[in-house]
Amino acid sequence: MDSQDYSNSASLPGKRHWKIWWELIRPHTLTAGFIPVLMGTALALLTDSVNTLLFLAMLFASLLIQAATNLFNEYYDFKRGLDTAESVGIGGGIVRHGMTPKLIMQLALAMYTISLLLGIYICAASSWWLAAVGLVCMLVGYLYTGGPFPISWTPFGELASGFFMGFLIILIAYFIQTGHVSSIAVLVAVPSGILVGLINMANNIRDHDGDKRSGRRTLPILLGQKNAIIFMGIMFAIAYLWVVGLVVTGTVSPWILLALLSIPKAVQTTTGFVGKTMPIEMMPAMKSAGQTNTFFGFLLSIGLFISYFI
């Protein structure tokens, strides 16, 4: 790795190298990587014993794919002229800290390589059918901002992130522990998919004006910013009502109702966008979307763990 790739970052006053690298992977989005793995493993514990090494391998692979997706986003947004030193919510490795686009791409590919090696271990210990699923997830992570027709420029960004990084990851984490996918796992995965998709939507609401100028056609642009905020509130409500429905129908233990304690965060996220017009004003609400997913997933997983031991 060429020292000049990041030499400019060292000259920034008061800015430590570790903090620059930490910001580069956009840590507030990493909740979308580890919460679904935790939930899928907690579900697996209800029906089978859990292999700790498989859990850790899946966890790190998922986090690396999420971090690499963020780096691909950084690389391609810079290449397309979307990121500047004043852009809000980006890692800023290229436009603020003097890193080269080549370095950003190399880091992303290195993360993909490590996650691929972890995936080989997971497949060898469970099923090689997962190889195809894992490669599709990695491909979608790249195509989200890469390729000639980036998913992030379309109204399907929320659907793609929610399905592949929320819903599907739970089922994979469950499958590698149990060797099958149950209907209960599918049903419990639904609200997680919604919340992960809403992390993406929060980002797109914040970037609404800039995305519109650049020619993107994201869901908030199609709906309009006000309607997008209303839509977000409705989807949060559906996610929490879904949990209640699982308990009312006797599908899952009432202990998962602990997830409802995260509702204030969901409210904070939605109301945090109301009346805001500047991206910097919407940053707290955007970060709160990730925190909502984190609290929801942790609390629901705790409820599953409690139901296992009681």
**Per-residue model confidence (pLDDT) at position 297:** 94
Q: Could you tell me the end-to-end alpha-carbon distance of the chain, in angstroms, rounded to an integer?
A: 52
Q: If you search the block for the tokens 């209907």, which residue do you land on?
A: 183
> How far is Cα 9 from Cα 11, in angstroms, rounded to an integer?
5
Residue 310 per-residue DSSP state = -
**Per-residue model confidence (pLDDT) at position 83:** 60
Label residues 212-237 b or e (16+ Cβ within 10 Å = b): eeeebebbbbebebeebbebbbebbe
**Per-residue model confidence (pLDDT) at position 248:** 97
**Per-residue model confidence (pLDDT) at position 1:** 43
With beta carbons less than 8 A apart as the criterion, state whether 138 and 65 touch: yes
> How far is Cα 176 from Cα 127, in angstroms, rounded to an integer?
8
Give per-10-residue mean pLDDT for the chain (310 aa). Answer: 43 55 73 88 88 94 88 80 58 67 87 93 92 88 83 92 91 94 95 94 90 88 94 97 97 95 96 90 90 94 90
Structure tokens at 208: 């609404």
Structure tokens at 224: 């309009």
Nearest one of 29, 138, 2 to 91, comparing CA atoms: 29
Q: Helix crossing, 31-45 with 168-178: angle to 10°?
A: 40
**Whole-prediction pTM:** 0.84
Nearest one of 1, 18, 20, 26 to 106, comparing CA atoms: 1
**Per-residue model confidence (pLDDT) at position 5:** 45
* Domain limits, the chain: 3-9+16-309
**Per-residue model confidence (pLDDT) at position 9:** 42
> How far is Cα 290 from Cα 299, in angstroms, rounded to an integer?
14
